[in-house]
Amino acid sequence: AQSVAQPEDQVNVAEGNPLTVKCTYSVSGNPYLFWYVQYPNRGLQFLLKYITGDNLVKGSYGFEAEFNKSQTSFHLKKPSALVSDSALYFCAQGVGSARQLTFGSGTQLTVLP
Amino acid sequence: EAQVTQNPRYLITVTGKKLTVTCSQNMNHEYMSWYRQDPGLGLRQIYYSMNVEVTDKGDVPEGYKVSRKEKRNFPLILESPSPNQTSLYFCASSLFSNTEAFFGQGTRLTVV
């Protein structure tokens, strides 16, 4: 069975500093990976995805993620955090022809002014 | 405007009283799914549908039913709700299972 781990429930970072939100996935075939963001009282919004190709994926709002097959990781990064980036972030994994999508438990990012 | 619409947004009901949460998308997407979100557990997939009349169980299907009679609609049915189904529910649609998903606004369900 697929599994996605987000080891940090909470990440705090100062505005202007780089941020990283961690995600590791289970090894099973060729995974496709997503990052979604959830603002309070809203549904999830797509940030970026990896299927194949370049290990560095660029997404919305200046976010990017690095796929690392040897470490089975897909960490979300941004060079300079904004207060408006404060939200709940979810990593998700699907595999090959599988139809199911598995989400991590979420990481609450707080950017401090 | 491309969107996924869920109704109702909030619902309080009593144990055992059948209810339906509706979900509709206007993007002609093939893939639709239902999730529940609980604190510390993230989103867990309840059911998904690859296309009309094609549905399958996700990770937590017990106590739920779905149907996909039309491409745009994917209702979630709780035949006999119980308090452990109190949760925040999201419907999502995407062109395929490995493409960007669009989520509804969520339905906060309380079963007393």
Q: Give pLDDT, residue A96.
A: 56
Residue B15 C-alpha, separation from nearest chain A C-alpha, in angstroms: 25
| Alpha-carbon gap: B44 to the closest alpha carbon of chain A (Å) | 7
Give the pLDDT score at A17: 97
pLDDT tens digits, one per residue of A34-70 = 999 999 888 899 999 998 888 899 999 999 999 998 8
Go through chain A and tell me how many residues it has.
Answer: 113
Query: How many C-beta atoms surround the C-beta of residue B21 within 10 A?
Result: 21
Position A22 pLDDT exceeds 70 = yes
Q: Map residue B53 onto helix, strand or coil.
A: coil
Pick the closest to residue A108 from A39, A30, A15 (CA basis). Answer: A39
DSSP string, B14-52: -TT--EEEEEEESS--SEEEEEEEETTTEEEEEEEEEET
Nearest to B64 by CA among B86, B81, B42, B84: B81
Q: Write the pLDDT tens digit of every residue in A62-106.
A: 999 999 988 999 999 999 999 999 999 999 998 655 567 889 999
List helix spans (H) across A13-64: none
In B, which residues are within 8 Å of A108 by CB distance?
A: none
Number of Cβ pairs < 8 A linking chain A and chain B:
63
CB contact under 8 A, B90 and A104: no
Of A6, A42, A90, the CB nearest to B105: A42
Q: Model confidence at A27, in pLDDT bands (50, 70, 90)?
A: low
Q: How confident is the model at residue B106 (pLDDT cuts 50, 70, 90)?
A: very high
pLDDT at B101 over 80: yes
Q: Do A90 and B43 touch (CB under 8 A)?
A: yes
Confidence tier at B40 by pLDDT (50, 70, 90): confident
Nearest CB among A41, A44, A106 relative to B90 is that of A44
Q: Residue type at B19?
A: L
Confidence bin at B107 (pLDDT 50/70/90): very high
The reported pLDDT for the residue numbered A34 is: 94
In a mutational test of the B interface, the residue from A99, A105, A107, A108 whose CB has the highest number of chain B CBs within 10 Å is A99
- Percent of chain A that is helix, strand, coil (3-state, to 5): 5, 50, 45
Q: What is the pLDDT of residue B48?
A: 93
Confidence of residue B96 (pLDDT cuts 50, 70, 90): confident
Q: Tokens for B25?
A: 């998308």
A contact test, residue of B23, B33, B43 with most A CBs within 10 A: B43
Find the CB nearest B103 among A44, A94, A99: A44
Write down how long chain B is. Answer: 112
Nearest CA among A4, A30, A1 for reference residue A93: A4
Find chain B residues with C-beta within 8 A of A41's C-beta: 106
Provide mean pLDDT across the span B91-99.
Answer: 89
Nearest chain A alpha carbon to B41: A105
